[in-house]
Amino acid sequence: MTSQQAALGALKRYFGYDSFRPGQQGIVESLLEGQDVLGVMPTGAGKSVCYQVPAALLPGITIVISPLISLMRDQVDALNDLGLTAAFVNTTQTPDEQSMVLAQVTAGQVRLLYVAPERLETGRFRDFAARTPISLIAVDEAHCVSQWGQDFRSSYLGIGDFIASLPTRPTIGAFTATATERVRQDIITILGLRDPAVTVTGFDRPNLYFDVVKLESKYKAAWIARYVADHEDESGIIYCATRKETEALAATLNQMGHPAVAYHGGMSPEVREQAQRDFITDRVPVVVATNAFGMGIDKSNVRFVIHHNMPESIEAYYQEAGRAGRDGEPSRCTLLWNESDIVTRRRLLDTDYENERLTPEEQEIVRQSKRRLLDGMVGYCRTTDCLHRYMTRYFGQELEDSFDRVDRGDADRDNADRHTGSEHGATPRKCGACSNCESTFETIDVTRVARAISRCVHDVNQRVGSGKIVKILRGSKAQDLAWLNPEQMPTFGMLKDVNEARIRDVLSQMATDGFLFIAEGRLPIVMFGKRAAETAAADFHYEIKRVERRRAQADGVGSNRSRLRGGVSAISDDALAGPALGVYVPDDDEEMLFQKLRDLRRTIAQEIGKPPYIVFSDKTLRDMARIRPVTDAQFLAVNGVGQHKLDLYGQRFMQTVASFNAGNMQ
Ligand code: ADP
C-alpha cells in the first residue's frame, strides 16, 4: 500500500472523513516519508489531522508539544474516542500518575503523547525519551518560539535542544496559524527543521460569514443582547477590549436571562478554568472575554464570534474570529466598530511604552509598524469590497473564483456600480458570505468634495488635523483657526453647502484609499498620501458608497429568527463545496431531527463526562439529520463517523433516527 492510500485509509477509519482538506495530504505524506514539515494553516483548517494521521501509521510514538495544558485532557479524550490511543503528562498529575503514563507509553499502548514544552527539560522525561522509539515530534502553536509573534514563550526555545539530545532524530512537524515570513523563518531556525516542506494553505474560510457593523458605543450592548437572544441555542464568544467590559457585558446578558460567563486574565486561575469548562461543555453558551481567551481552544461548534471593539490588527482579528466554525458549518463573525474605537486604538499606540528596553528610535519603529497593522484593521471596517477578499488579500493571497469573487478590474467595477442604488446581490461578484456583498450600496459622487479636501490640505501646508480642515472648508470663523489666517485661503468656505459628517466621511475614505495619510503624533495631522496627485488630474472621479444593510440588519436589532436561519443557511454546504452557488436550506423536519440528535449528544456527553462536541461535531449531526442513517453502512457514510464512533454511539443515534422516521410517518 502506498503512503497515500494508507493516509486516506486512516483518515476514513479513525476520523470518518472521505478526503483531505487542502494542504493536509502533502503534509501527511511528507511526515510519513520522514521529511520535516512546516504547516501554516488558519485556525480551523485542520492542523491536528496532519500529525494525528501519521501518528496512527508510524511505527514509533508521536510526541505532541502544546503550550496549553488545560486543553490536553480534551484533546486526548477526543483521540481515544476516535480509537487512536493518546495520553498526556503534565503538572496536573501526581508524580505517580506521570510514571504510570510513561510506563504505558513504553509498553507500546499509546500512539500520541501530549506534553508541555517545560516537560522536555526534566531529567526524567529526557531519560524516558532516550529509551523510547519516537517517530514524530509535532510542535503545535509553533510561532511561540518567535519573539516577533505576540505569544512568545521562552520554554519553546528548549525544544531544539531536546530534539538534539535524542539518540535518533525523529521527523519534526511544526504547525502554526501565524502567517508572517519573519515568524516562519524563526520557527525553522530555532526548532532546527531540516529542509522542511513548507505548506501554506489558503486563508479563506468560506463557511464564515463576515459582518461589519458600525454602531455607536452606547448601542453595542443592546445589539449583542439581541443577537444572543436570537441565537439562544448557539455557542458564541464575545471579545471585549477590557476586563471591566467583559464583566459588565456578561452581567448585562445574565440579567436579561441569557447565561454568559466572563473570562479575563485578572480572574483567579480556578475561576477562569471553571469559566472555560462551562463554555466548552456547553453548560453556558456564551463567553465574554478579553483576548486572553482562546489560544488553542478547539471547541468546534462555536457558531458566532462578536467583537465588541475593533482589535489592533487583522492578524489578531482573524485569529480570534477564526475560532468560529471550526467544524466547517456556517458561522458568523461580527465586528462592531465606530470612529471613537479608532481614536482610542490610536491613542493607546502613542502612549504604549511597554518595551522600555528599546531605544527611542526603536520604539518609533515598533510604533510605526503597529500603526500600519492598525491601518489594515481600519481598512477592513471601512471597505465596501468583499470582506473575504479583503482578508485573503491582506494575507497575500488573491481569492480564486470559487465565488466568482475575482477582481474584474476597475473598469468593470465602475460599470457595475455606477447606477445609484445598484444591488451588489445582483452582480456576479457576490461571495454570499459577507455583509458587504449582501448589502445594497448607494453610490454617491463626491469628486468635488474630495478635490476640495485635497486642495485644503495643500493650503494649510499639511499642518493640521481633520477637524480644522473641515472647519476651513465650511468657512468657520472659529478662534482656534485664526493663526492660520484661513480667510486668505482659496478653499475657505468652498464646501459651505456640504454637511460636516459628509466631509468627514470622504476624508476618512480618502485616507483609507491612499489619497491622504493621517500622520500620528500627539495630534493626528492630515497629510498627502501616495495617490494624492491623482486628485488634481482632470479626469479624477471619486465615489463613496453608503451601505444599506439588508440581511445583516436582520441579524441585529429587530431581527426575527426564521429569517435569520434562512440567511445563515444560505452559506452552508454550498459555500464549502466551491463553485456551485445553490442555496441549501434545511427543511423543518431536518431541523427537528437535528435538535433531537443534539439532545441525545448532550445526554451521552453528560454520561461520559466529556464535552458534547467530542461525541460528534455539529457538522456530523447535521449530516446525520440529512442522511437519516438506520444501517451501519449508512451511519459510516455520515461525515465525521469512523468505525470506532459507530461502535461507541451508532446504535443510540440510529434508534433516535428510526423513531423519528416512524413518528413522521404516522
Ligand atoms: P486547527 O488545529 O487547524 O485549528 P483542527 O485540527 O482543530 O483545526 O480542525 C478543525 C476541525 O476540522 C475539526 O473538527 C476537525 O475534525 C475537522 N477536520 C480536519 N480535517 C478534516 C477533513 N479532512 N475533513 C473534514 N473535517 C476535517
The verdict on residue 128 lying in a domain is: yes
Q: How much is the average pLDDT of 164-193?
A: 90
Ligand 1 atom 5, closest CA:
46
* Contact yes or no for 325/297 (Cβ under 8 A): no
- Among 200, 219, 247, which residue terminates a domain? 200
Q: Tell me the three state secondary structure of residue 491.
A: coil
Q: 427 pLDDT exceeds 60?
A: no
The verdict on the CB of residue 205 being under 6 Å from ligand 1 is no
Residues 6+ apart with CB under 8 A from 183: 143, 146, 148, 149, 176
- Among 338, 362, 397, which residue terminates a domain? 338
Residue 422 has what pLDDT? 35
* Contact yes or no for 324/304 (Cβ under 8 A): yes
**What pTM, to 2 d.p., does this model score?**
0.64
* CATH code of 463's domain: 1.10.10.10
The secondary structure of 387-452 as a DSSP string is HHHHHHHHTT----GGGS----HHHHHHHHH-STT-BGGGSTT--SSBTTTTSEEEEEE-HHHHHH
Residue 521 has what pLDDT? 61
| Ligand 1 atom nearest to CA at 15 | 16
Confidence of residue 70 (pLDDT cuts 50, 70, 90): confident
The verdict on the CB of residue 12 being under 6 Å from ligand 1 is no
593/634 same-domain check: yes
Q: How much is the average pLDDT of 63-80?
A: 88
Looking at 107-242, list the stretches that DSSP marks H as alpha helix, in order from N- to C-terminal side: 123-130, 159-165, 181-191, 217-230
82/215 same-domain check: no
Confidence of residue 583 (pLDDT cuts 50, 70, 90): very low
How many CA atoms lie within 13 Å of 246's alpha carbon, on the beta-carbon side?
24
| Ligand 1 atom nearest to CA at 43 | 4
The verdict on the CB of residue 598 being under 6 Å from ligand 1 is no
| Ligand 1 atom nearest to CA at 41 | 3
**C-alpha torsion angle, residues 403, 407, 411, 414 (rounded to 10):** 60
Tell which residue, 662, 666, 661, has the closest CA to residue 590: 661
CA atoms of 16 and 208, how far apart (whole Å): 23
Ligand 1 atom 2, closest CA:
47
Residue 216 has what pLDDT? 85
The verdict on the CB of residue 43 being under 6 Å from ligand 1 is yes
The verdict on residue 530 lying in a domain is: yes
Widest Cα–Cα separation across the chain: 89
Determine the distance separating the centroid of ligand 1 and the alpha carbon of 25, expressed in angstroms. 13
Determine the distance separating the centroid of ligand 1 and the alpha carbon of 89, expressed in angstroms. 24
Residues 6+ apart with CB under 8 A from 473: 452, 453, 456, 491, 492, 493, 494, 495, 498, 503
The verdict on the CB of residue 64 being under 6 Å from ligand 1 is no
The verdict on the CB of residue 565 being under 6 Å from ligand 1 is no
Q: How much is the average pLDDT of 442-456?
A: 91
140/30 same-domain check: yes
| Ligand 1 atom nearest to CA at 322 | 4
Determine the distance separating the centroid of ligand 1 and the alpha carbon of 170, expressed in angstroms. 24
Confidence of residue 577 (pLDDT cuts 50, 70, 90): very low
The verdict on residue 644 lying in a domain is: yes
215/242 same-domain check: yes
Q: How much is the average pLDDT of 158-170?
A: 94
* Contact yes or no for 322/42 (Cβ under 8 A): yes
Residue 432 has what pLDDT? 83
The verdict on residue 403 lying in a domain is: no
Question: What is each CA distance from 127 to 76, 120, 135, 161, in whole angstroms?
Answer: 23, 10, 17, 14
Determine the distance separating the centroid of ligand 1 and the alpha carbon of 411, expressed in angstroms. 40
Give 11's DSSP letter: I
Looking at 438-499, list the stretches that DSSP marks H as alpha helix, in order from N- to C-terminal side: 447-459, 466-473
* CATH code of 592's domain: 1.10.150.80
pLDDT tens column, 220-261: 988 999 899 999 889 999 999 999 999 999 999 998 899 999
For ligand 1, pick from 12, 24, 320, 326 the residue to mutate: most ligand atoms within 8 Å of CB.
Answer: 326
pLDDT tens column, 15-24: 999 889 888 9
Residue 653 has what pLDDT? 96
For ligand 1, pick from 41, 48, 84, 319 the residue to mutate: most ligand atoms within 8 Å of CB.
Answer: 48
| Ligand 1 atom nearest to CA at 140 | 2
pLDDT tens column, 284-333: 999 999 988 876 577 889 999 999 999 988 888 988 999 999 888 999 99
The verdict on residue 552 lying in a domain is: no
Q: Which grid coordinates are listed for 647?
A: 461502535
649/525 same-domain check: no
Residue 399 has what pLDDT? 63
The enclosing H or E element of 273 equals: helix 269-280
36/111 same-domain check: yes
Exposed e or buried b for every residue in 499-509, given b needs 16+ CB within 10 A? Answer: eeeebbbbbbb
The verdict on the CB of residue 45 being under 6 Å from ligand 1 is yes
499/625 same-domain check: no
Kind of pairing between the strands at 516-519 and 525-528: antiparallel
pLDDT tens column, 323-381: 999 888 999 999 999 888 888 888 777 776 555 666 777 677 667 767 777 888 988 99
Confidence of residue 586 (pLDDT cuts 50, 70, 90): low
Q: How much is the average pLDDT of 97-118?
A: 94
The verdict on residue 595 lying in a domain is: yes
Q: How much is the average pLDDT of 649-658?
A: 95
Q: 630 pLDDT exceeds 90?
A: no
Q: 145 pLDDT exceeds 70?
A: yes
Ligand 1 atom 13, closest CA:
327
Phi first, then psi: what are they for 663, rounded to 5°?
Answer: -60, -35
pLDDT tens column, 496-548: 999 887 898 889 888 877 899 887 666 678 999 989 999 999 999 998 766 55
127/46 same-domain check: yes
Q: 419 pLDDT exceeds 50?
A: no
23/148 same-domain check: yes
**Beta-sheet strands, E only, within 280-378:** 286-289, 302-307, 331-337
- Percent helix, strand, coil in the chain, to 5, is 50, 15, 35
**Beta-sheet strands, E only, within 206-364:** 208-214, 235-239, 260-263, 286-289, 302-307, 331-337
Residue 663 has what pLDDT? 81
CA atoms of 227 and 248, how far apart (whole Å): 17
Q: How much is the average pLDDT of 590-609?
A: 92
Question: How many folded domains does the chain comprise?
Answer: 4
The verdict on the CB of residue 375 being under 6 Å from ligand 1 is no
Determine the distance separating the centroid of ligand 1 and the alpha carbon of 295, expressed in angstroms. 16
Residue 231 has what pLDDT? 93
The enclosing H or E element of 75 equals: helix 69-82
The verdict on the CB of residue 21 being under 6 Å from ligand 1 is yes
pLDDT tens column, 373-403: 788 898 899 887 889 988 887 776 666 544 4
Kind of pairing between the strands at 440-445 and 543-548: antiparallel
The verdict on the CB of residue 48 being under 6 Å from ligand 1 is yes
* CATH code of 243's domain: 3.40.50.300
For ligand 1, pick from 20, 49, 140, 613 the residue to mutate: most ligand atoms within 8 Å of CB.
Answer: 49
| Ligand 1 atom nearest to CA at 298 | 7
510/604 same-domain check: no
The one-letter amino acid at 243: R
The verdict on the CB of residue 323 being under 6 Å from ligand 1 is no
Residue that wins the pLDDT comparison between 569 and 43: 43
Tell me the sheet residues that pair with 209.
Answer: 332
Determine the distance separating the centroid of ligand 1 and the alpha carbon of 307, expressed in angstroms. 24
pLDDT > 70 fraction of the chain, expressed in percent and rounded: 84
Residue 376 has what pLDDT? 84
Which of 131-135, 335-339, 418-422, 519-523 is the most confident on average? Answer: 131-135
Q: How much is the average pLDDT of 86-115?
A: 94
The verdict on the CB of residue 296 being under 6 Å from ligand 1 is no
CA atoms of 69 and 75, how far apart (whole Å): 10
What is the domain range of residue 486? 447-541
Exposed e or buried b for every residue in 410-442, given b needs 16+ CB within 10 A? Answer: eeeeeeebeeeebebeebebbbbbbbbbbbbbe
Give 21's DSSP letter: P
248/117 same-domain check: no
| Ligand 1 atom nearest to CA at 613 | 14
23/133 same-domain check: yes
Residue 201 has what pLDDT? 84
The verdict on the CB of residue 618 being under 6 Å from ligand 1 is no
The verdict on the CB of residue 326 being under 6 Å from ligand 1 is yes
Residue 271 has what pLDDT? 94
At residue 21's C-alpha, the angle toward residues 81 and 401, to 5°, is: 150
The verdict on residue 575 lying in a domain is: no
Residue 335 has what pLDDT? 97
The verdict on residue 426 lying in a domain is: no
Residue that wins the pLDDT comparison between 456 and 442: 456
Determine the distance separating the centroid of ligand 1 and the alpha carbon of 640, expressed in angstroms. 10
* Contact yes or no for 314/332 (Cβ under 8 A): no
Q: How much is the average pLDDT of 481-502?
A: 92
